[in-house]
Amino acid sequence: MNTNKRRIAVTAGLAVVAVVVALIAVFLSGAKPGADIIGISLVIILAIITVAIIKTVEKKNILYICLIIGILMLVAGSALAMIPASKDSSGSFSAMAIMGLIMVIIAGVSLRKPADYNLRDERSLKIGTWAISYSWYLAYLLVILMFWLSFFEVVALSAEIVLGVLMFLMPLSAVVFQCYFSKKEDVY
């Protein structure tokens, strides 16, 4: 199995496991997983697998297909979310529209990359590894800080706020650390 197929398989497997664990957590919390939660879960799995395909293939025709799928998801999700009769599933449709937008952006950027863009050497791999490590460490420290702030009732933090902060902090800090390390002569 070549590297790209392995990456797609690992990403797909991890996406399915993450969504299944989330659904089990919803079920164990006492909530009834309705059609909306299952629909959002399926859209997330589809989007993660499609984004993994977009990020690992170099064939332009596959990127165009993913771009078209993303546009269709964006338009269909937006249109269906606005229909008054579909208010029960509007979360699924909104998730579909957001995933479609993400796919359009990633496929569009991938189509504009030069052919030699993905050349990797030892230095760039090392920079990426260190950037992700620092990003994870920063996120871990932030989780500890938020826990203690919440524990001592300094601030009331909801799960949505904590997850939203982490969802934006991790990729943004990874990019910042990657830019920082790429400007240095050697990482460590």
Provide DSSP, 83-129: -GGGGGGHHHHHHHHHHHHHHHHHHHHHHHS-TTTT---HHHHHHHH
**pLDDT tens string 63-106:** 788 788 888 888 888 887 777 765 565 666 777 788 788 888 88
Rounded distance, CA 26 to CA 46, Å? 20
- When pLDDT is averaged across residues 22-45 and rounded to a whole number, the result is 71
CA distance readout (Å), 146 to 4, 88, 142, 157, 176 = 38, 33, 6, 8, 22
Place of tokens 């957590």: 25
Quick one: pLDDT band at residue 117, thresholds 50, 70, 90?
Answer: low
Quick one: pLDDT band at residue 49, thresholds 50, 70, 90?
Answer: confident
Rounded distance, CA 179 to CA 135, Å? 12
Q: Is the pTM of this model over 0.75?
A: no
pLDDT of 34? 65
Place of tokens 């950037």: 131
pLDDT at 136 over 90: yes
pLDDT of 133? 93
Rounded distance, CA 87 to CA 91, Å? 8
| CA 34 to centroid of chain Cα atoms | 23
pLDDT at 1 over 60: no
**pLDDT tens string 8-27:** 777 777 777 877 777 777 77
- When pLDDT is averaged across residues 144-163 and rounded to a whole number, the result is 88
Quick one: pLDDT band at residue 48, thresholds 50, 70, 90?
Answer: confident
SS in 3 state form for 158-174?
Answer: CHHHHHHHHHHHHHHHH
Residue of 63, 89, 62, 88 whose CA lies nearest to 77: 89
Residue 56, token pair as written in the block: 């690992």
Q: Tabulate helix, strand, coil % of the chain (nearest 5).
A: 80, 0, 20
Rounded distance, CA 187 to CA 131, Å? 10
- Whether 66 and 50 have beta carbons less than 8 Å apart is answered as yes
- When pLDDT is averaged across residues 129-144 and rounded to a whole number, the result is 92
